[in-house]
Each structure stands twice: as C-alpha cells, then as structure tokens.
Structure 1
C-alpha cells in the first residue's frame, strides 16, 4: 500500500527523469529542468499555504507548527494545479519544450496508473478484514474493521520519537470524537514497557492492543512508525498517513467522517 504522498512523489520523480532524458541532447535541458524545479517548489509552497489557511484555527494556537511539514499537510489539488500552470506559462512560447513536458507526462501516467490501480485494489482488499492482535489481558483477539462507524488505527512504539509526540493529540481526538473508534496497536514491545510509557506520560487512551510480531501492520500495509490508517464505517480504507500527525493534519483526515455525520 502506498500513501497519496508517496504516489505524488513517485510521479514527480518519474516526470523529472523523463524530462531530463528527452532533453539530454538539446540546448534547453537546463531551462527545462530549472522550470520543472521551480514549478515543484511553487506547487509544494502553495499546497502547504492553502492547507494552513484552511486549518488556521488550529495552526494559530502554535503558528510555528505551520512550518513543520512533517505532518504531511498539503492541499494536493491546488499544488498540482499551481505546478502545472507554471509549467504551461513558462513553456507556452517553446513548442518543443511543451511537447517534451506533454510526452513525459503521458509516459509518467502510463507508469503510475497501474500503481494507483493496485493501490486501490489493495485498499479494497482490507475492507471488512479483521486483524489479529493481543489485548490488554494478554489474550489473542481479532479486531473487526467494519463496525458501522469510522475506525482509526495507529501503529506505534514507545521508542519512536514521532509516536511519542503525536500521542497526546490522538488522545484528545479519541476523547472528542466518541462516534469514531480509535485503536492503538503497539509494535513489538512488551506490554509492561508500553504501559510504563503511557503511565509516565499521563496518556489515557482506550483500545490499546499489542502486535508482538508486527504481522498486523504488514497485512494492512503499514511499514513504518508511526502509521495511522483511516477506515470508514464500511471498513474501507480511505486515507493513510505515515509519519507524525499534527493536530491540523489529524483534523484534515477526520473531516470526511465529520461531514458524513453532519449529513446523517
């Protein structure tokens, strides 16, 4: 399973490679790659700025966090639009360059589209699928992901600094959103170690489970820590985030669930 951010980065890198390849024997390669570089920079900046503006109510409580892009908060649609428009404006007077960009984009699409299809298929395969974990009492338990309300699964470990930093944010979210089920699956640690960490940090969270072998994380496509998966009420994965969550980025991921609740 690849996150939307991973697919975006893969697309950009492939596009960059093809542009460099097709312009390798031309006198406009530097202009082509420089234009692409600044288009990517502009796209990322605008995507971040628009994300922060949309969630300014959260970011204004700690405005420095607006510069911390580790939370993965980007408005990808606006970012893509900005980058593509800049490429178009810079290449509109150079037909050969515009043709190179178009050809590179088509080939990139041909390569990336199967990855997208496979990713969607893998996400759908997890719908309604349970995961095997160990509960607080040390007994094996299978958690059903299709329970009629959103399920958020966080894979974490006490030795993981980003996991430790985001835990208070997830704790607050669990307390605020009673209509969603937050599940915390500790990875490959002794229960006593995990409990000691939670107690020392005064973290009070429910639904804490243990995955000693890391099998459940691998089955759901979580290959790094922390990873948070967002399932709708039908048990279908609609979003995933690998890395530290901020209050704003978590709110962004929960927004579709909140909108669904308002409509019902």
Structure 2
C-alpha cells in the first residue's frame, strides 16, 4: 500500500489517516459502552485519549531531546508529526485501569484499545516503504549554474529536501533545514523544483539564506523520482543509492535529525 494517499493536489500520509480512524473508533466504542453498560466509559475514553496523546508526544520529545532543546517551541508543532505510539498506548491503558478498574466496561475499553493498537502498529510495518533505488543519472545545479551529478554522492548517504519558493511550509522549514545541513555529518541538499536561478537567488537574498546548500532542478526531475508532487518532500538516501525513507510535508528538526542518524547507522 502506498504510504502517501493522493487526493488531487493533496498528499496525505496514510499512517496518519489510520491513526485518526483508530482514534475515532475508540471514541465511538467508548460512547457505545457508556450508553449500554457504564456511563463512566465515555469520560474515561476521552481522558485516556487526551493523556495518551500527551504521553506519546512527550515520549517522542524525550527520544529527540537534543533537537527540541535547540528549538523548544517546536514541541507544540504537533502537525509536523512526532509521537511515540508505544508510550501513548501504555499510558492510555493505565488511564483506563485507573478510571474504570476491573469492571466490564474497563475490560471492553482495554480490549478495544489493544485491538486498535495492534492494527495501527501492524499498519506502520505494512506501510513502511521498501528501499528503492534513486533514479540514476540525476543532475542538479548550483545556484551559479555549475552542474552537480548526484552520482558523485555514490558511496555516501545523503538527504534531499525538495522545495519551492511559492510553498509556505517549505519557507517555514527552510532556515531549520539549512541550519541542520551546516552541522550534519552527511550532505543535506535543498533542491529547488522547477524554478529559475533568478527566482531562487532573489528568494535567498530576501530571506538572507546561504546558497551553498541549495541546488536547482529546473526540470523537476527529483519530483518525478520521488513519485510525489507534494512539497516539501524529504528523501533519505543510503550509501548504496537506495531511498530508505520519504517524508512528505513540513519536517521537524527532530524528524530530520532522527532520519540522518538512521542513515549514519546504515553505513556502519
């Protein structure tokens, strides 16, 4: 199954849709149990959901503490993703036990939580993209027009962030991506899609961003190679030239640095 669902110009991560559907089913079951068995179930379900989501976010923040230490305000940027599913599930289950005890309603709610959690975790494994080779022969350009063959990176892992000046999420994340690129042990290329050197140079000058990490792809060949027209899109490519992961949409510092760490482990 494609990890990205395309709805016209929209691109939505399939795992997020499954997460939303699972949450909706959990709340629906809580309402049903409250109506038929125990009126406490509805409130317990909502509390378990709220506390579980907070725990899931907190777990992810702890796992990526260094990235959040640099930019603590991004802890609140939950729309960028970043949740520890296991931490959330465990805390939600404990909340149900505290609020409903060993009652029949508690058993039903715990069974529902367990079943939906198994479905969600299995879907993550199912949706994980198989490593696939990056299209051979790709060439980008420096802002000054110098061609840069991507084959020159063969033997080294690298990250490609696809962006455009007209894309608001691209503009929001770009200063952070540039900052990570400066200190990264592996190359992080910000490859503009389909725009001229004049447009890109003017944008970089206005935003006071350096041009050294930026590459131009006026033919949008990387968009075709990624199989997604959504932007921003970030590709994580290993030393063998295999695309290990694709992040569609605005990426957080934590997700970017986590992806870089995983790439570094592939070459050891």
TM-score, normalized by length of structure 1?
Answer: 0.72
Secondary structure of the corresponding residue to residue 136 of structure 1: strand
Judge conservation of contact 1:171–1:205 (CA < 8 Å) in 2.
Answer: no
Residue deviations 1:106-159, cap 9 Å, x none?
Answer: 477569846852x23xx22x5223167663288999856993332212121112
Judge conservation of contact 2:157–2:238 (CA < 8 Å) in 1.
Answer: yes
Say whether residues 1:154 and 2:155 are aligned partners: no
Say whether residues 1:75 and 2:80 are aligned partners: no
Deviation (angstroms), 1:167? 1.6
Distance 2:60 2:71 in 1: 15
Alignment partner, residue 238 of structure 2 = 232
Deviation (angstroms), 1:46? 1.7
Say whether residues 1:63 and 2:64 are aligned partners: no
Alignment partner, residue 168 of structure 1 = 175
Distance 2:94 2:87 in 1: 10
* Residue range with higher mean Cα deviation, 139-148 or 166-175: 139-148
Alignment partner, residue 2 of structure 1 = 3
Residue deviations 1:50-81, cap 9 Å, x none?
Answer: 33344444434443333232443333332232
TM-score, normalized by length of structure 2?
Answer: 0.71
Unaligned runs of 5+ in 2: 5-11
- Alignment coverage as a number of residue pairs: 256
Alpha-carbon RMSD across the aligned residues, in angstroms, is: 4.0
1:13 alignment partner, one of 21, 44, 51: 21
Secondary structure of the corresponding residue to residue 43 of structure 1: helix
Deviation (angstroms), 1:104? 7.0
Alignment partner, residue 189 of structure 1 = 195
Judge conservation of contact 1:227–1:240 (CA < 8 Å) in 2.
Answer: yes
* Residue range with higher mean Cα deviation, 252-261 or 101-110: 101-110
Residue deviations 1:208-246, cap 9 Å, x none?
Answer: 13264x674365354532222223334444444333334
Unaligned runs of 5+ in 1: none
